[in-house]
Amino acid sequence: MKRGKIWAVGGGKGGTGKSFITSSMGTALALKGSKTILIDADLGGANLHTFFGLNRPRYSLSDFFDKKVPLQEIILQSGIPNLGLITGSIGSLDSEGINHAQKQKLFRHIRTLDADHILIDLGAGTHNNTLDTFLLADNMIVVTVPEITALENMYHFIKSAYFRKMKFIFKTYNLNATIQDLWKNRASHNISSLKDLITHLKESSDHIRNIFDSEMSGFAVHIIVNQVRTPRDILVGLNLKSVCMNFMGLPVIYSGYSRQDDAVQKNINSKEPFMIFNRLSPVVKEVKTMTENILTGTNISVRKDLDDGCLSKIL
Amino acid sequence: MDVYLKYYDLLEQPPEATLEEISKNYSDLKTLYSGDSIEITALNSDFSQELQQDYLSRLDDAYEKLKLLLENKKPVLVKKTVIMDDSLSEWINSIKCFTGVALKSIRERMGVDLKDIFAATRIQPQYLEDIENEQFRSFRAEVYLRSYIVEYTRFLSLDTQKVLADYLPRYRKFHGHNADT
Ligand SMILES: Nc1ncnc2c1ncn2[C@@H]1O[C@H](COP(=O)(O)OP(=O)(O)OP(=O)(O)O)[C@@H](O)[C@H]1O
Ligand SMILES: [Mg+2]
């Protein structure tokens, strides 16, 4: 059986549009003819089903956790061809409520789902379960908005994910004490940031440098800037790319942006999937563009559009 | 070249970028990292004043270096020091007319290879040979021939004006006074 590509959408801050973007990208993939499954892993505040106008889902992840129903059997019809939905359990569990064994079992089941693409919607915050699900993905995606608080949380989220992965890897090499000690005594080593820590570790031995090269170099986060209102907001993604590389030492890909559109809220309230009922909204095209870019691992090119002034006219 | 790749990296441009593109990115990056944009403010402790100073000075340096590189894109002239001893310059002074044959014998006595002239001037050796053999057919317009002779004589430290005054009339005569001037 083929193994589908796993996408995880997180980003730290609440309300940036993670669920909206996940549901819309999933729809875009399904409309292209790919077999797609959405999973609502926001165990504390599951609401992905709402984006498809479903209000009392028949099954949810609590059937999987509590009643041991296989994951494959709790997939709901989203109402859109090729698009299945696994809903979170509303209210009954919070993300800290599942234990290590349950988490491993969920990951195992996710990996064996029969689909081309599996998109996982994560909750806000940087809880370990959230980070672990994020790290499970082939495509790690963060959704942010052009606002200082959202960017602060997003930086923190990306660094936390990197740090957690680094700890996992070092553990498999029996080096977890090294990294823990170094971080505990960081002041004496003049380490004040994650970037310093990485630099210090890489310089400490060839062995460790090789571990970074072989295990961590694939770590690349896709950034989506949601709810943009001005051309300057669109540049945020470009700037984040530069900032993350220069001052966190972490590569990111600017996959796309989507503008603020009141139709989004209207559609949710009238229980109509956005991508189907709003074909004329520019957001539909923007979502398709970011989906394509994530599929191919490319950066969106905005500089030229901005220079030509064509974006300022529409925004 | 490795060091230049580092400069290109800093300016976040590929090595084939034009100076114009580099300048644009330079000013964008400078604005981003010297101001108080939201992307920078949100970095908090990951962006100290020292880090900022260090980054900006590296950026300035990289830009200056690339600007110099791209403004002087021509290869550096590696003019072979021609040994002009007294007897050689006396002999050159005694030459009545700078024909192609004369130019060739001067060059050979100086021990200069056509490849040396090519390396410095980027004039194809074929054309240099044609000048020396007075293959006037190869030069469809006088301006080209003239510019080649200027470079050729400069390389050999000859009196450019005198060579032109001797050589060009022969070319014109061949083309039956029809050549443009
Ligand atoms: N591009 C947009 N234009 C207009 N409104 C938007 C846009 N994206 C999201 N919204 C609005 O923002 C609200 C929050 O979106 P969403 O639920 O997708 O965020 P979230 O990041 O999943 O939140 P949480 O962290 O609570 O899970 C939605 O109710 C929606 O109406
Ligand atoms: Mg959500």
Q: With cut-offs at 50, 70 and 90, classify the pLDDT of residue B94.
A: very high
Contact A12, A126 (CB under 8 A): yes
For residue A290, give the ligand nearest its CA: 1
B40–A243: do the CB atoms touch at under 8 Å?
Answer: yes
How many angstroms is it from A47 CA to the middle of ligand 1?
11
Q: What confidence tens digit (pLDDT) does each residue in B1-21 have?
A: 457 778 989 999 887 788 999
Please tell me the predicted confidence (pLDDT) of residue A45.
Answer: 85
Report how many Cβ contacts below 8 Å link chain A to chain B: 40
Alpha-carbon Rg of chain B, whole angstroms?
A: 26
For residue A83, list its beta bridge partners.
Answer: A36
Task: Give the Cα separation of A94 and B21 in Å (integer).
Answer: 50
Flag the least confident range among A263-277, B80-94, B118-132: B80-94
Is there a single domain that holds both residue A193 and residue A113? no
Residue B44 with chain A: CB contacts under 8 Å: 152
Residue B35, token pair as written in the block: 């101001």
The domain in which residue A145 lies consists of 5-158+219-314
Percent of chain A at pLDDT above 90? 70
Please tell me the predicted confidence (pLDDT) of residue A228.
Answer: 96
Residue B1, token pair as written in the block: 């070249």
Helix (H, G, I), strand (E, B) or coil at A34: coil
Q: What confidence tens digit (pLDDT) does each residue in B119-168 have?
A: 777 788 899 999 999 999 988 878 778 878 988 998 898 998 999 999 99
- Of B85 and A116, more confident: A116
Comparing CA positions, the residue from A300, A287, A298, A303 lying closest to residue A9 is: A287
Which range of A73-77, A263-267, A309-313 scores highest in mean pLDDT? It is A73-77
CB contact residues (below 8 A), chain B span 10-49, against chain A: 12, 29, 32, 37-48
A155–B42: do the CB atoms touch at under 8 Å?
Answer: yes
Please tell me the predicted confidence (pLDDT) of residue B1.
Answer: 43
Domain of A289, CATH number, reads 3.40.50.300
Site residues for ligand 1, CB cut-off 6 Å: A 14-20, 42, 45, 123-124, 226-227, 258, 260-261, 264-265, 268, 283
Task: Give the Cα separation of B95 and B162 in Å (integer).
Answer: 11
For residue A85, list its beta bridge partners.
Answer: A38, A76
Atom of ligand 1 nearest to the CA of A21: 18
Is there a single domain that holds both residue A139 and residue A196? no
Is there a single domain that holds both residue A228 and residue A208? no
Is there a single domain that holds both residue A91 and residue A9? yes
Is there a single domain that holds both residue A89 and residue A232? yes
Task: Read off φ and ψ for residue B88, nearest 5 degrees.
Answer: -65, -45
Task: Give the Cα separation of B139 and A121 in Å (integer).
Answer: 72
Indicate the top mutation candidate among A25, A264, A284 to test ligand 1's pocket, ranked by most ligand atoms within 8 A of CB. Answer: A264
How many angstroms is it from A146 CA to the middle of ligand 1?
14
Angle at A35 between CA A32 and CA A38, to 5 degrees: 105
One-letter amino acid at B7 equals Y
Is there a single domain that holds both residue A141 and residue A247? yes
Residue bearing the CA closest to ligand 1, atom 12: A17
Please tell me the predicted confidence (pLDDT) of residue A118.
Answer: 98
Residue B53 with chain A: CB contacts under 8 Å: none
What are the sequence ranges of the domains in chain B? 2-70, 86-174
Task: Give the Cα separation of A120 and A101 in Å (integer).
Answer: 19
DSSP-derived pairing of the beta strands A139-144 and A36-40: unpaired
Is there a single domain that holds both residue A261 and residue A200? no
Q: With cut-offs at 50, 70 and 90, classify the pLDDT of residue B76.
A: very low
Contact A243, B40 (CB under 8 A): yes
Q: Is the pLDDT of residue B77 over 50?
A: no
Residue bearing the CA closest to ligand 1, atom 30: A265
Comparing CA positions, the residue from A121, A10, A23, A107 lying closest to residue A65 is: A107
DSSP B35: T
Residue A305, token pair as written in the block: 């559009």
Q: Is the pLDDT of residue B33 over 90?
A: yes
Percent of chain A at pLDDT above 70? 93
Is there a single domain that holds both residue A137 and residue A230? yes
Is there a single domain that holds both residue A138 and residue A279? yes
Is there a single domain that holds both residue A182 and residue A203? yes
In this structure, how many other beta carbons lie within 10 angstroms of the beta carbon of residue B102? 17
Count of domains in chain A? 2
DSSP-derived pairing of the beta strands A76-77 and A5-10: unpaired
For residue A141, list its beta bridge partners.
Answer: A9, A222
Q: What top-level class would CATH report for the domain B86-174?
A: mainly alpha
DSSP A44: S
With a CB cutoff of 8 Å and minimum separation 6, the contacts of B115 are B125
Average pLDDT over every residue of B100-124: 88
Please tell me the predicted confidence (pLDDT) of residue A95.
Answer: 53
Strand boundaries in A66-197, DSSP class E: 76-77, 83-86, 117-121, 139-144
Task: Read off φ and ψ for residue A82, nearest 5 degrees.
Answer: 70, 0
Q: Is the pLDDT of residue B83 over 80?
A: no
Task: Give the Cα separation of A112 and B74 in Å (integer).
Answer: 60
In this structure, how many other beta carbons lie within 10 angstroms of the beta carbon of residue B167? 22
Comparing CA positions, the residue from A289, A292, A298, A302 lying closest to residue A233 is: A302
One-letter amino acid at B23 equals S
Please tell me the predicted confidence (pLDDT) of residue A3.
Answer: 83
Is there a single domain that holds both residue A202 and residue A227? no
Atom of ligand 1 nearest to the CA of A23: 18
DSSP-derived pairing of the beta strands A5-10 and A221-228: unpaired
pTM: 0.77
Alpha-carbon Rg of chain A, whole angstroms?
A: 20
Helix B114-121 to helix B142-155 angle (10° resolution) is 110
Q: Is the pLDDT of residue A93 over 60?
A: no
Touching check for B88 and chain A: CB below 8 Å?
no
Domain B2-70 has CATH 1.20.81: no
- Of B45 and A149, more confident: A149
Phi-psi region of A167 (alpha: psi -120 to 50; beta: other; left: phi over 0): alpha
- Of A123 and B45, more confident: A123
3-state secondary structure B1-20: CHHHHHHHHHCCCCCCCCHH
Residue B14, token pair as written in the block: 């590929």
Is there a single domain that holds both residue A249 and residue A144? yes
Q: Is the pLDDT of residue A307 over 90?
A: no
Helix (H, G, I), strand (E, B) or coil at A86: strand
B46–A155: do the CB atoms touch at under 8 Å?
Answer: yes
